Chain A
């Protein structure tokens, strides 16, 4: 689809979507009225979407369970929900047509990741209320692949099925792929005996290093894809075999990247929070949904020939972004750098401090045997090396401090990735 065709399609579908939510969803009608926006008069170009307010996960929780549905419940043939730990879960619905669209979208993503009709595909995602399992399931059936709905857990059984059923495609979270690889190694089982060719990963942010690990240890080609329950589930964007970013299915979703602080829409290549609008969903359309996921949009054409723009790897959550001296810092990325230095991810914490009206970044790293040296000099040079490496990456020089094991402030059993001491402790 050419750029112009796509824009026209987006315009038409957005207008239809806005007309429908304005009529059927009181939440949006209220929101639009607040800013005096009438879709029929005020929406003449795709760009006009920037006038509309955002929808947040909080809004969706507040509309628990069915308030945001755009069709009566009898039109809804499926309901899913995201896990809400502290608030109400976010409930989404699908009409018959939505399920058809969804299957097609997932099928597109799976096939761009290399899945064909002859494949045997093992889906190790949670089935149930979460969208991952059933979402991929229907897409795989749409392609005509043989689906093994093994769901999550019982790793040894997964491995046995993988071997006996001659699985060719594994779908799971990247960390679970590594769990499987590890278990195989401890069982003394070689993945070379498997028929695995592809691993379709999703469900959590991961790194290029993890991809390499998965590929080397399971002898597969691993691709990334992006989904979020409130928007549809899996099927929003997925990598092709070039493995350079996830093609957004722009004929069904309108993607923007905004600055999470100022809410300004960012240009191509700039990293910020992904905001999505559904173009074809019927039961649960969302307008400018703030996903909380950090990434940027790549505009350059892809070698695979697909014309849809690409999302870069999700770089973490924006609620974990730290802004120091105007620089966005993501704790996870710092972790990657530290991991690169000694080959293992240390336990660490970022602390923003303010000295003489100057913001400074302090990185506290818990000492491990690998990071410990008898000689003071060597210890110093390691710390300097770390700080230099990080400075190269983020552009400001942090102060690296080694601290005793177990001394970092924790929240439950997890170290808080970030403390802000700029405004007093």
Chain B
């Protein structure tokens, strides 16, 4: 479904992605783990159109999407749950969901229907639908952010650090939601600092280290991998030749 080939992206002078290739098949959860500064978020931005790759190609459903503006990419079927949730805090919960369904605004029946569905899944959102989104707790905001992204009826859901800044108990809840989404057959690209939790739910994973993929494999296999621990702990872990 999503095929990324040898993508290079710069942030100003920083060569943040150095020839990264990966793919996500329909119905898969693929995770990307790596330390801070490994290039995870840059990759998300490049896929979602917020950063332009200098080289390489990105295909989604067999069409090239690299360099397209974000709004077009949303229409093509990729929805992002951004890092730090980025809900519209000055708007009500319901308005947030409506914004998520913006590209389907000419079909209010469908938007209504989707909204009711998410109210069914997350009753807490229904209880607070008139409340300003900024007053929700972190976990509730994350549920809102995920629902908002799903309102666009995407083929691929990109989750950028969904557990960031959440209490451990709430994190567990969020991962339960991700597992549920997987059971519904959704396709997910999951970017996570919490490598352990991410690799547990994922079918496959990629380990990113300073802009390069150094390992690829099945989620549970990568979990025990030393390179993963190293990449994840970053420079603090001993280099191979120092060991």
Contact = CB atoms under 8 A, between A and B. Distances in A.
Interface in B203-240: 206, 209, 211-217, 221, 224-227, 240
Name the residue among A11, A24, A40, A71 with the largest chain B CB count within 10 angstroms: A40
Contacts of B186: none
A19 B221 contact: no
B214 A16 contact: yes
A30 to B, nearest CB: 14
Interface string B29-71: 0000000000000000000000000011000000000000000
Contacts of A71: 226, 240
A23 to B, nearest CB: 8
Given A15-B6, A24-B240, A71-B240, A40 B226 contact: no
A43 B25 CA distance: 23
A40 B55 CA distance: 12
Interface residues of B, number: 30
Contacts of B241: 24, 72
B131 interface: no
A285 to B, nearest CB: 12
A97 B225 contact: yes
Contacts of A208: none
B226 A15 contact: no
A15 B206 CA distance: 12
Contact of B243 (A43, A45, A72): A72
A41 B18 contact: yes
Contact of A44 (B56, B211, B213): B56
A40 B18 contact: yes
Contacts of B5: 8, 11, 44-45
A40 B21 CA distance: 11
Interface in A65-81: 70-72, 74-75
Nearest to B207: A16
A204 interface: no
Contacts of A43: 6, 19
A74 B243 contact: yes
A97 B221 contact: yes
**Majority secondary structure, B binding face:** strand
Q: Is the interface of A mostly helix, strand, loop or mixed?
A: helix
B21 A72 contact: no
A244 interface: no
B23 interface: yes
B181 interface: no
Nearest to B3: A8
Nearest to A44: B6
Contacts of B99: none
Interface in A261-287: 280, 282
B214 A72 contact: no
Given A45-B6, A71-B240, A74-B243, A16 B23 contact: no
Given A44-B5, A75-B226, A97-B221, A15 B213 contact: yes
Contacts of A45: 5-6
A42 to B, nearest CB: 9
A70 B239 CA distance: 12
Contact of A19 (B214, B217, B224): B214
A23 B231 CA distance: 13
A72 B214 CA distance: 16
Contacts of B55: 44
Interface string B11-22: 000000011111
Contacts of B22: 12
Interface centre among A5, A16, A280 (most CB of B within 10 A): A16
B21 to A, nearest CB: 5
B215 A16 contact: yes
A13 B214 CA distance: 9
A11 B21 contact: yes
Contacts of A12: 21-23, 206, 213, 216
Interface of A: 5, 8-9, 11-13, 15-16, 19-20, 23-24, 39-41, 43-45, 70-72, 74-75, 96-97, 100, 280, 282
7 contacts: A15-B20, A15-B21, A39-B19, A40-B19, A43-B6, A72-B241, A100-B221
Q: List 8 tightest A-B contacts by C-beta distance, closest first.
A: A40-B18, A44-B6, A72-B243, A40-B19, A12-B21, A19-B212, A16-B213, A8-B23
Given A24-B240, A41-B18, A44-B19, 10 more contacts: A8-B5, A12-B22, A13-B216, A15-B213, A16-B214, A16-B215, A41-B19, A72-B240, A280-B217, A282-B227
